[in-house]
A and B are shown apart, each in its own frame.
Chain A
């Protein structure tokens, strides 16, 4: 178990190193100049900016300096917010994305499991057909459409009520989180519903279910104790990458709902060619994703004793 975990962690570190290197190379290959802005500056000012950000050195040297700093956990100073450190940006804004993401995962997981189980129970009957139609909708409609529609819905509800029941946008209280996390989780919810449905249907025909029925167990007990527990495994597998994807992929939702998450910095940094923020957020998100996958693998062993970690 311990050896397995260590092995996975080592592989994870190599993955993160690879992500950092690939991002560094890609970033420097993108045409455009991070130090250029609307107003042209004199050669002297430019030289000073290059020195400040170490861009006066050859790219290979910049790479080794960056890697050295990264090992010490220092991502440098942002190019666009010249008095803010990238570490501060991650520390200030990741918790927001994480809170939003966890709530979204909560919605997605509970929704996905319940709807999935329902469709399996009512297989090929009306509830199944309706839910599966909505699932296809949920998978194919991009999140920015849901975000806009969700916000419009809130505006209209509040307009009808004459007071603000649920805030239209912003951040601070629990009610601010409801709509954005629901919107953010919809895609994953749809995916999990479909996954849950197929794995439930698989389990239904297993011998141990027949045995349980033959023993005369109540349908409820069979459903919860035998069907659900066994069908949930594939859902857990996909949950790891989903957590990372949701926590990091909320750019549009953050923009529409005016949420101070890290996703906005992640995307805007690329548009602004903000080298340090690009590197900082990408490496951080990359490491987060790797960690989630490892965690899920370990949890998997606990949930299903048949899985041996080697």
Chain B
């Protein structure tokens, strides 16, 4: 595998997709490249095609036209090819109630690796590891219907993680979670990223995207409007407005402080409140 800028794990080339024949296109010529090991935030108004694109990335939907390349090779839509792709690209769905099919947490997590054909004792070891790693132990013997939203989310991440994928796609993981569980899920995501897993995450939280992502993909009406580093995207007023996004609070504040002369103009825009505080603290 080549290194540096050439190491593209997923490449999407001019993909079109419509849910119904002759219906409106959900994806309207999406093209993008995802580098291996990166944290990429997908943003855009509701219904802009993020979820559809994700389902194209692991072969659930087959594009009407255009190609998707995984590790440089076009996706093979044969049964074996799809299983292979799906074992490497995992999706954590937005609503855990649509993903968890068993009332037992243990059974639930065992489903994926068993489908990969791994031997039972290896699967059991993996499940125990992932249960510990994601701190599921305190509630692993409770039925799915007795779990809180955050706990269900943890289980749905475990579902995917236990399959050891190269790419994990999270569709709005923080949706309907309280602050504590959002933080917890974010920490989990950070740890996964540290282990070199490529992470694609749909989110509406631009402050979080700015501080977390290596790259932001801004989608608009089934197309990629902008794919760039977070600061570039977050300072592009026009693009933000078009996609129903607000400029991150920290950048707004930074702007004001620069205009007031409190901070120097040549500073790099901060990506988090912590960084801005540091700027102010050190009086630069």
Indicate whether A and B interact.
no
